[in-house]
Structure 1
């Protein structure tokens, strides 16, 4: 939304102070089609007749008049903006009499992604005499604005969106929608319901409301939702049969698989309701939570071992033993700890790591005692290190400090 609010400012700043020019073709006139010898950023020639149902913004500039790139950046923003351009059915098209060799460098520098009609003299039919120029065409194919690329362009676009919402998805977005729908179908065949839901939701977001294509996306989402509802019904039957373990497992699967959908929210609420209603469910959910936490800690420990951060790996494994003692992950953690201890170099690192907290405190206390002349107290602190943490670097440091006391 912030970007949408900035668009009038960006467009208005480009030609501030220029002389106002009257509209070229009257408002309500059907827009003449475009005939171009070449197209840039388009796989095939575009026709305004094929774009009925979209809001189309034509941006005119010519080779014999400098300043064609003056508002190109802002036109690009409108064309690519997720809300104003892609999802609302607004499409920008550049129109110029210049050949590809004359404008390609500029278009690349400006990172223009909108299609451009090249070697096109449509400005004659639009009776445009001053450049650059913008023409805004409503979904019925009628001109609603023809003038300079100022903030008025964005105002007109919003007025059209409010009065005559587009009923068609942009051609480039149609391709995305069909790809996502096909991906959703393939995922359903593979019973990968999570991937199917994500793909169908993306297709729905790319299609414009009012376009029959949007209804196809909705049908796909409803089909996937129906699968989730069937799983929810199975979970309810398991509850009736007092098979709480499987019921919880089913509901959690729905939450994970359809995250972001209404069925996921319903399943999450049902889980909480069952937890409050049945002690058995509460115990299962608590145990499952510990298992998930233990699995995360185990993953962290393995990552730290790969990074040779053995101290952090040791902490994660000990946390599994301490906080998740009744999970099946504990034996795995203990096995990893044993293998770490069996390696001489790693075991030395672990001894230093385990000793670090208490030994650094004892060394600090010893230094303070020496500074205050309490040599006997200092020796006591250092002896604790020697007795409690042999074969560590702190033992060697304590020995060196004791030598200075003699």
Structure 2
């Protein structure tokens, strides 16, 4: 076997190993995200407090969601802390993002369901960078689809930065006291949000 063939074999083995490792990582991330709605009940007791490994509560170790102030599509100032006492589903999205737009119809239905009570709310934070996503594009997308959920404009990217948003859609679940329960990357079914709400009530 000459040197050129040996080098080619080494390159192909390296490429194959890289692809297999990548597929394993993606599969495992998807699996954990897909089942997060079911697993959350294992980490929360009936009072809504996170449990530690010994079965006790970790109230003192709760991670509080960073508060923020953004404008909605009507120009109103909205603070996350305005919703303390409710369970908040904080969804980061953009109109150019296919997975984001695919979950929107079900999120809208969940929003309508939430509107019947006082337990929960969806806040849809648009990554309005002014280039790929502008306020006009976001506003047109919402209007064209007749969505009524609360949309907030993150024009500086500061909120996305505070929440370490590296991919969208990402949805944070924030408890009534303002603490982060969990987060989910990738598009979600509306039922996942409803199931989480039931487990946190």
Q: Alignment partner for residue 88 of structure 2, among 48, 53, 56? A: 56
Q: 1:114, 1:152 → 2: CA distance?
A: 17
| Contact 2:126/2:138 (<8 A) preserved | no
> Where do 5+ consecutive residues of structure 1 fail to align?
1-16, 162-406
Whose strand proportion is higher, 1 or 2?
2
* Residue correspondence of structure 1 range 2-401 to structure 2 within 5 A: 20=30, 28-36=62-70, 38-40=71-73, 42=74, 44-62=76-94, 65-81=97-113, 84-98=114-128, 99-118=134-153, 119=155, 121=157, 122-148=159-185, 149-150=188-189, 151-161=191-201
Q: 1:21, 1:61 → 2: CA distance?
A: 21
RMSD of the TM alignment (CA)?
A: 2.7
Count of paired positions: 138
Q: Tell which has more relative contact order, 1 or 2 (C-alpha 8 A, sep 6+).
A: 2
> Where do 5+ consecutive residues of structure 2 fail to align?
1-26, 34-49, 51-61, 129-133
Deviations 1:354-373 (A, max 9, x none): xxxxxxxxxxxxxxxxxxxx
Deviations 1:343-382 (A, max 9, x none): xxxxxxxxxxxxxxxxxxxxxxxxxxxxxxxxxxxxxxxx
The equivalent residue for 1:383 is none
Taking structure 2 as the reference length, what is the TM-score of the superposition?
0.59
* Alpha-carbon offset, residue 92 of structure 1: 1.0
Structure 2 CA distance for partners of 1:120 and 1:112, relative to 1, 3 Å: farther
Higher gyration radius (CA): 1
Taking structure 1 as the reference length, what is the TM-score of the superposition?
0.31
